[in-house]
A and B are shown apart, each in its own frame.
Chain A
Amino acid sequence: MTSSTETSGTGTKRAEIKEQYKKFIGRKILFILFSLILIFIIAGISATLGSYPITVIEVYSILWHGVPKIVQNTAFIISHGFKEFFDTFFTTEEIVVWNLRLPRILMGILAGIGLAIAGTMMQGILRNPLASPFTLGISSGAGFGAALAIILGTGFVAGEYLVVGNAFIFALIPTFIILGLARYKRATPETMILGGIALFYIFSGLMALLMFFSEAEPAIEAYFWMIGSLGRASWDNLLPASIVLVGCVIPLMWKAWDINVMGAGDERAKSLGVNVERTRIFIMIIASLLTAGIICFTGCIGFIGLVAPHMCRMVIGGDNRFLIPAAGLFGGALLLGADTIARTIIPGVILPVGLVTYILGGTLFFYLLARRRREYW
């Protein structure tokens, strides 16, 4: 039996906490919106930058007037493909904007979103801050597949998709090996991480073997394929990439709550009704598909998948329901920004974006780490 003053005292305390919690969530939503706006801003700036001389106003005019042109000629695009359409209907300036810069910008956004989300998921299910989309050995698998295609010319899909097809399929081989291991030895975070490390060494070694016996040029090409670049972006591969992105992100969001719960330990998660091993395997597969589906087009752009979730966690905390979209959008902005720097920092030279993400990104993250005020891990 509580007196009326006690009850009202409790009432205000409760209301206070409710307010705080609502503000807490409000901040997260604000951050997500901010990241979205950031993407638009960086995209807008990036479209105007490049070695081909086009003024800012011209760029926006080209973008604005290009849309109706595309809409009117959709039939032509479907029958003749994008390249022919652009060559027939667009001027050189318009082609530069629409067929060179724009696909690159869009791919940067997609890849950034995908890699960041895959990284968030991996960190969540493995309960490990060092996890990234490449923790299961995916990058070395893809690198080996690409090297096979570039150096030996052998692969699963002939023609222009030789490298892409190889990279995709070989990227998934480590995942399936770890799946097998998990079935046999239980799907614990330790099994997966250690398995991933072992496979990383194996596939890296195999790739190095190929490069050792290869001619200089294909070897260099294979190496820089690994570093990651948005230079291969085109309207043709934007479509499959976006399908992969949407197809993987939706099931991942659906499991966001379960990943939260798994963060409290496998035992607690089980007692809260989560089928821990099955969920871990499910998410591992989806995150791997997502990663493979992106890096087969771009190469293994490192660092975004590791760091975007961390940076967002520093601001909005670890609730995956908000962290997944936040890290995704922030990762998109990050990668887009990195690519913009990569193609403009040295006039006339287009560096592979992987160089920028590794060097500048690593430095930035180290700085944040050194300056952080509280342990958020």
Chain B
Amino acid sequence: MVRLKVKDMEFNYASVHVLKDIRIELAASEMLSVIGPNGAGKSTLLRCIDRILSPQKGCILLDGQDIKKMSRMELAKKMGYIPQSATQVFPATVFDVVLMGRRPHIGWRSGEEDTEKVLETLQMLNIEDLSMRDINELSGGQQQKVFIACALTQEPDVLLLDEPTSNLDIRHQLEVMDIIKNIVREKKISAIMAIHDLNLAARYADRIIMMNSGKIFSVGDPVSVLTPDNIKKVYGVEAEVIDKRGRPHIVPIRAVSKK
């Protein structure tokens, strides 16, 4: 059952083609990783799906509904987005930042139910001890967890994550990926994650989309997408691919020309 469908999406920015011929299908409880070199269009793709940017062409269907016809609030109830960098946030406690995730569901007053949901996500991400701290005092990794908690509090059907592990040490990387994997499975959420680390993508994703210059180069399960040939063509890197417990593990060797 297809939850999210992206059809023939195209996005231009000041007459520069950023995305072209984008076609994606995402099922419930599926984790999709989008990989590709810098400038391939991964972030733009996520932003177009969540209507932060408006694609010039194409349509996006969420559970059969065209998202262009939904109001922003309605879309926010179904889709959560975690942007890449930690922009400077106005002073706020962690609790209040996570509470922001309830905004699509509440008008003005936050009720008991909303507080409970916040507490639940705080616990899920293991950041309860940080609840009353100011978010700007936290490390990059901790902030990232807070923003993930905020998106989860929206209770979305689809979660879009832009490089969620870039600022994290190896422990936090695994922690965060495990949390997301669990949520995808237990809450039947679908996730699209733009990610740089090929090995994390290989290890956690159900399917991978490899992008190159704004187009989808290859799509499929990790083994079929992460081949030395593809990696050479898209990244210009000669790499060795080892099988580790049924998942590919990429060992880069050297940079080469893309031919």
Q: Taking beta carbons and an 8 Å cutoff, which residues of A are in contact with B?
A: 10, 13-14, 17-18, 20-21, 24, 124, 127, 254, 256-258, 260-261, 263-265, 267-268, 270-275, 313, 317-319, 321, 374-377
Contacts and interface: CB of A to CB of B under 8 A. Distances in A.
Given A271-B83, A376-B134, A377-B136, 19 more contacts: A10-B123, A17-B95, A17-B131, A17-B132, A21-B132, A257-B103, A260-B96, A264-B87, A264-B97, A264-B150, A265-B83, A265-B87, A270-B50, A271-B151, A273-B76, A273-B103, A318-B90, A318-B91, A375-B137
Interface string B79-121: 1110100011111110111001101101010000001000100
B51 interface: yes
A288 B123 CA distance: 43
Contact of B91 (A10, A20, A273, A376): A376
Given A257-B103, A272-B154, A375-B136, A267 B131 contact: no
B79 A263 contact: no
A272 B104 contact: yes
A260 B47 CA distance: 22
Contacts of A377: 91, 136
A374 B137 CA distance: 10
Interface in B140-172: 147, 150-151, 154
B92 A263 contact: yes
B112 to A, nearest CB: 10
B119 A17 contact: yes
B91 A313 contact: yes
B45 interface: no
Interface of B: 47, 50-52, 71-77, 79-81, 83, 87-93, 95-97, 100-101, 103-104, 106, 108, 115, 119, 122-123, 128, 131-132, 134, 136-137, 147, 150-151, 154
Nearest to B81: A271
Contact of B90 (A17, A127, A271, A275): A127
B108 A263 contact: no
Summarize A's interface: helix, strand, loop or mixed: helix
A271 B52 contact: yes
A282 to B, nearest CB: 15
21 contacts: A10-B123, A24-B93, A124-B90, A257-B103, A257-B108, A258-B103, A261-B103, A264-B90, A265-B89, A268-B83, A270-B52, A271-B80, A273-B71, A273-B75, A273-B103, A313-B91, A317-B93, A318-B91, A319-B96, A375-B136, A377-B136
Contact of A20 (B50, B73, B132): B132
Contacts of A375: 136-137
Contacts of B147: 268
A233 B205 CA distance: 68
B91 A17 contact: no
A155 to B, nearest CB: 40
Contacts of A17: 95, 119, 122, 128, 131-132
Contacts of A254: 108
A260 B102 CA distance: 12
Contacts of B101: 272
Contacts of A263: 89-90, 92
A307 to B, nearest CB: 16
Contacts of B92: 260, 263-264, 317-319
Contacts of B83: 265, 267-268, 271
Instruction: Kindly name the residue among B72, B104, B137 whose own CB sees the greatest number of chain A CB atoms within 10 A.
Output: B72
Given A24-B132, A124-B90, A274 B81 contact: no
